């Protein structure tokens, strides 16, 4: 394996220094190994031959069998190209080459029977194929039909590096001794358990499948190993970390927790809240440092869980901190929490960028002497001047706004790192959570407090705008408040801001008797907070805003959210936004406004919203539609998504298998150094050598 990594691609027959440079630049293929693991993205069935008359609409890569009628060079110099008319008896199609004109004209003849292969494109009612692959027809070649298609760049194609060139290089590579004798790092017990195809055979079949069955076996084998190695790596680090980092032991459930639970709980906990608190309590009492992700849909009551965990910390003489991504959120938490803990005589404070210097100094010193037990704040908590007497628990709300590095800074706030609870309403599908946060434990609140009415979501077009305004009017008349949200997308900022202003004016004109506030991300924080506050206090009844309101704001009296240009939002984002309504007793609505004509995929996406209120379903759909690399939260998580063959959206089951197998091996041999697993450990080191030490950052 190592030998394949070390052998530069230029030494492969058919490559040479020039192509090597091209491959490195265009596809990051530098070694034999890189090429071997550059898998086809698709397979074409070469046993099927199409007829020109049957071509219809958007066509995939296809084969045609027939003869060239003529070759006509056209243009001069750089514009020179070769046109050829091809017929299969049912009709004719044009073939075009933009380079190697002379060469091609010399090598193909009219009259000979060929099979041509390419993607027909429709232009002005006629199909043509650019740069088709051309083979002399022979029935033998058409059997055994599956042909791999490789992702190539435009530059490669322009340098006459085609799919067939790739195929030839792959053939040369597969024929080398090194590939034939490639060692298989997977433990025999695993190979036996799933009857996995041996590695060299799998690599041959992934590139040159003999039939569909062997292809599937090869795919399973390669997906499995990819995910298995990934899981091993993640678990290996987390077990090293667990061994290294002792956690504070919160052994007592004491006065604060018990008094709050029996006397001051504002409502009965849901079953899910109880379960999750128990999980967290067990974890914080185990002697291991806790790193836990708490997932709960918007409105599921994470704040109360956070508070009760903080009370546990206090009961064991530790301080607790809660960090929110924005000032307004921090302020809301402060309001809720300080109100709830007041009867217990607990001291808590709010620390943000706009805390006055004098207050700030007081907070700093009371954190240091331990008289301040709970601190709630923003990034301001991360500053070096903020030091604690004995910080035991840190809770991070709405995690995806915080980077990995910022989280790491919290660890230095005590001699041993405090327990960390990350709360998120972005429901990360299980397979993704396992891969991204492989070493975080996950708790899920999968139940909403009783009495919540699901938000009714409607999809409307411009034609119903007046009707929509009438509806807003009736809700406002009932004393409700309304959000109107506009997209703000970086590339298009100017235009969007214009839309937003326009939208604001229209709303002001349509509802002259109500106060309208206005918030967007480009505003100064103080102005933004002022505007938000107008809405929170019901001085303003309508808020026109961009997605800055997406996270956490709690205005139970708001019962309608209108989302303009809804087609421009991602599903998870729409779900987050929708979570701002339906928090009070009133029946709530989310109205998605969109253009009249939508692409099929977009329509499907928006319909997911009208059909379910379940954040997990929304997230799964989102991942299917967009792919996991695109999911909110994964970018910042720092794990590079360069999976070569597995698809987290589709291969959940394999993730699970790989995870379980990796777990049982790591349990026996955490460092992979025993004679039995040393080779495996060595292999993992090789694969992940360029990676950062994730064990240090959670």
Per CB under 5 A, residues contacting Mg ion are 552
Residues 6+ apart with CB under 8 A from 12: 32, 35, 169, 172, 173, 176
Buried b (16+ CB within 10 A) or exposed e, 388-405: bbbbbbbbbbbbbbbeee
- CA-atom Rg of the chain in angstroms: 31
Stretch that binds ligand ADP, among 129-137, 149-157, 297-305, 435-443 (CB under 6 A): 297-305
- From the list ligand ADP, Mg ion, none, which binds 270 (C-beta under 5 to 8 Å, kind-based)? ligand ADP
- The token pair that represents 149 in the structure block: 């298609």
Alpha helices in 245-345 (DSSP H): 255-259, 271-284, 302-315, 327-341
672's contact among Mg ion, ligand ADP, none, with CB below 5 to 8 A by partner kind, is: none
Q: What is the nearest approach in angstroms of ligand ADP to the Cβ of residue 51?
A: 58
Residues 318-377 that bind ligand ADP (CB under 6 A): none
Considering beta carbons, is residue 273 or 637 the nearer one to ligand ADP?
A: 273
301 lines the binding site for ligand ADP (CB under 6 A): yes
Tell the smallest beta-carbon distance from residue 399 to ligand ADP (Å).
12
**Residue 304 vs 488, nearer CB to ligand ADP:** 304
Residue nearest to ligand ADP (CB): 301
The Cα 437–Cα 294 span in angstroms is 12
Nearer to Mg ion, 148 or 552 (CB): 552
DSSP-derived pairing of the beta strands 589-594 and 558-563: parallel
Q: Measured from the CB atom, is 10 or 452 closer to ligand ADP?
A: 452
Residue (of 223, 34, 191) closest to 649 by Cα position: 223
Query: Which phi-psi region, left, alpha or beta, contains residue 125 (left: φ > 0; alpha: ψ -120 to 50)?
Result: left
With beta carbons less than 8 A apart as the criterion, state whether 212 and 37 touch.
no
Q: Which does 269 bind (CB under 5 to 8 A by kind): Mg ion, ligand ADP, none?
A: ligand ADP
> What residue has token string 């090869």?
218
**C-alpha–C-alpha distance, residues 648 and 682, integer Å:** 26
Of these partners, ligand ADP, Mg ion, none, which one is at the site of residue 326 (CB under 5 to 8 Å by kind)? Answer: none
Choice between 503 and 552, CB closer to Mg ion: 552
Beta strands 319-323 and 456-461, pairing class: unpaired
Nearest to 672 by CA among 202, 290, 212, 233: 233
CB of 424 to Mg ion, least distance (A): 9
Identify what 152 binds: ligand ADP, Mg ion, none; CB under 5 to 8 Å per kind. none
- The smaller minimum CB distance to ligand ADP, of residues 446 and 661, is found at 446
Residues in contact with ligand ADP, counted by CB under 6 A, come to a total of 16
DSSP state of 329: H
Check binding of 298 to ligand ADP (CB under 6 A). Answer: yes
Element (H, E) at 105: helix 101-107
Give the helix ranges, DSSP H, for 612-677. Answer: 615-626, 634-637, 652-668
Closest separation between CB of residue 560 and ligand ADP, Å? 18
Per-residue x/- marks for ligand ADP, 416-435, CB under 6 A?
---------x----------
Helix (H) or strand (E) holding 572: helix 571-578
The pattern of x and - marking residues 240 through 279 that bind ligand ADP according to CB under 6 A reads: ---------------------------x-xx--x------
Q: Show the binding pattern over residues 444-483: x = contacts ligand ADP (CB under 6 A), - = does not.
A: -----x----------------------------------
Q: Pick one of ligand ADP, Mg ion, none as the site partner of residue 628 (Cβ within 5 to 8 A by kind).
A: none
Q: According to CB under 6 A, which residues from 47 to 76 bind ligand ADP?
A: none
Nearer to Mg ion among residue 445 and residue 507 (C-beta): 445
When asked if residue 214 is in the footprint of ligand ADP (CB under 6 A), the reply is: no
Q: Nearer to Mg ion by C-beta: 407 or 605?
A: 407
Q: Do 561 and 591 contact (CB within 8 A), yes or no?
A: yes
- Among 66, 148, 209, 296, indicate the residue that binds ligand ADP (CB under 6 A): 296
The smaller minimum CB distance to ligand ADP, of residues 398 and 529, is found at 398
The Cα-based distances of 43 to 119, 145, 205, 210, 311 in angstroms read 13, 10, 12, 12, 58
Judged by CB, which is closer to ligand ADP: 116, or 304? 304
Q: Measured from the CB atom, is 219 or 270 closer to Mg ion? A: 270
Pick 131 or 400: Cβ nearer ligand ADP: 400
Kindly list the distances between the CA atom of residue 660 and the CA atoms of 231, 404, 554, 664, in Å, as whole numbers in the listed order. 9, 26, 40, 6
* Number of helical H runs and strand E runs in the chain: 27, 22
SS (H, E, C) 574-617: HHHHHCCCCCCCCCCEEEEEECCCCCHHHHHHHHHHHHCCCHHH
Query: Which of 73, 51, 71 is CA-nearest to residue 63?
Result: 51
Residue 413 binding: pick among ligand ADP, Mg ion, none (C-beta 5-8 Å cut-off by kind) = none
Q: Which is nearer to Mg ion, 552 or 582 (CB)?
A: 552
When asked if residue 554 is in the footprint of ligand ADP (CB under 6 A), the reply is: yes
- Supply the minimum distance, in Å, between the C-beta of residue 306 and ligand ADP: 8
CB of 576 to Mg ion, least distance (A): 11
- Tell me the C-alpha distance between 122 and 127, whole Å: 4
Question: Residue 126 or residue 267: which is nearer to ligand ADP going by CB?
Answer: 267
By CB neighbour count within 10 A (0-12 exposed, 13-18 middle, 19+ buried), where does 78 fall?
exposed
- Count of all residues that appear for the chain in the document: 698
Q: Residues 276, 284, 304, 592: which binds ligand ADP (CB under 6 A)? A: 304
| Residues 620-679 contacting ligand ADP, CB under 6 A | none
Whole-angstrom distance, CA of residue 100 vs CA of residue 107: 11
Q: Which listed option, Mg ion, ligand ADP, none, makes contact with residue 63 (CB within 5 to 8 Å by class)?
A: none
Site track 575-594 with ligand ADP (rule: CB under 6 A), x = hit = --------x-----------
Site for ligand ADP, rule CB under 6 A: 267, 269-270, 273, 296, 298-304, 425, 449, 554, 583
């Amino acid at each position: 394996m190592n030998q394949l990594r070390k052998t530069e691609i230029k030494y492969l027959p058919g490559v040479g220094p020039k192509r090597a440079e091209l491959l490195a630049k265009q596809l990051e293929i530098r070694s034999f190994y890189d090429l071997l693991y550059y898998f086809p993205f698709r397979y074409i069935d070469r046993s099927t031959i199409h007829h020109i008359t049957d071509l219809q609409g958007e066509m995939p890569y296809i084969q045609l069998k027939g003869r060239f009628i003529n070759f006509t060079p056209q243009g001069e110099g750089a514009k020179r190209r070769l046109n050829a008319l091809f017929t299969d008896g049912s009709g004719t199609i044009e073939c075009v080459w933009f380079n190697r004109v002379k060469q091609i004209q010399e090598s193909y003849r009219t009259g000979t029977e060929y099979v041509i292969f390419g993607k027909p494109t429709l232009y002005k009612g006629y199909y043509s194929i650019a740069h088709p692959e051309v083979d002399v027809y022979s029935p033998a070649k058409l059997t055994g039909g599956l042909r791999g298609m490789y992702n190539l760049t435009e530059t490669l194609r322009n340098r006459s590096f085609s799919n067939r060139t790739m195929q030839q290089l792959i053939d040369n590579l597969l024929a080398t001794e090194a590939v034939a004798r490639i060692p298989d790092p997977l433990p025999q017990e695993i190979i036996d358990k799933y009857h996995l195809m041996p590695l060299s055979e799998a690599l041959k079949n992934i590139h040159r499948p003999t039939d569909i069955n062997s292809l599937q076996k090869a795919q399973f084998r390669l997906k499995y190993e990819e995910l298995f190695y990934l899981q091993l790596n993640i678990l290996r680090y987390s077990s090293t970390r667990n061994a290294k980092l002792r956690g504070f032991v919160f052994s007592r459930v004491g006065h604060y927790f018990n008094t709050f639970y029996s006397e001051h709980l504002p409502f009965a906990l849901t079953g899910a809240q109880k379960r999750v608190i128990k999980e967290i309590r067990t974890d914080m009492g185990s002697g291991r440092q806790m790193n836990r992700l708490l997932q709960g849909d918007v409105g599921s009551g994470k704040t109360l869980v956070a508070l009760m965990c903080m009370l546990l910390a206090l009961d064991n003489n530790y301080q607790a901190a809660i960090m929110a991504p924005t000032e307004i959120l921090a302020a809301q938490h402060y309001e809720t929490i300080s109100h709830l803990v007041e009867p217990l005589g607990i001291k808590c404070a709010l620390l943000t960028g706009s805390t006055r210097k004098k207050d700030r100094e007081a907070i700093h010193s009371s954190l240091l002497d331990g008289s301040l037990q709970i601190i709630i704040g923003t990034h301001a908590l991360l500053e070096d001047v903020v030091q604690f007497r004995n910080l035991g628990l840190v809770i991070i709300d709405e995690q995806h706004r915080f980077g990995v590095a910022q989280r790491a800074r919290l660890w230095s706030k005590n001699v041993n790192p405090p327990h960390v609870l990350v709360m998120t309403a972005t429901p990360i599908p299980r397979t993704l959570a396992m891969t991204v946060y492989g070493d975080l434990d996950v708790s899920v609140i999968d139940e909403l407090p009783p009495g919540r009415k699901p938000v009714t979501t409607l999809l409307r077009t411009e034609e119903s705008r007046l009707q929509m305004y009438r509806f807003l009017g009736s809700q406002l008349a009932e004393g409700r408040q309304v959000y109107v949200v506009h997209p703000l997308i970086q590339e298009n900022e100017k235009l969007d801001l214009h839309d937003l202003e326009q939208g604001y004016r229209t709303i002001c004109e349509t509802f002259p008797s109500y106060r309208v506030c206005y918030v967007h991300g480009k505003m100064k924080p103080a102005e933004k907070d002022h505007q938000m506050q107008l809405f929170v206090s019901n001085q303003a009844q309508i808020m026109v805003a961009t997605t800055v309101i997406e996270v956490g704001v709690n205005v139970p009296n708001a019962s309608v959210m209108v989302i303009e240009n809804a087609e421009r939002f991602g599903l998870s984002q729409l779900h987050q936004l929708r979570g701002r309504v339906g928090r009070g007793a009133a029946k709530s609505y989310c109205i998605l406004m969109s253009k009249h004509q939508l692409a099929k995929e977009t329509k499907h996406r928006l319909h997911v919203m009208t059909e379910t209120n379940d954040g997990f379903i929304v997230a799964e759909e989102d991942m299917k539609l967009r792919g996991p690399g695109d999911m909110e939260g994964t970018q910042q998580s720092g794990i590079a998504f360069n999976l070569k063959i597995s698809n987290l959206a589709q291969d959940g089951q394999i993730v699970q298998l790989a995870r379980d197998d990796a777990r049982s091996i790591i349990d026996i041999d955490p460092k992979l150094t025993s004679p039995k697993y040393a080779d495996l450990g060595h292999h993992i080191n090789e694969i992940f050598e360029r990676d950062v030490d994730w064990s240090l950052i959670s």
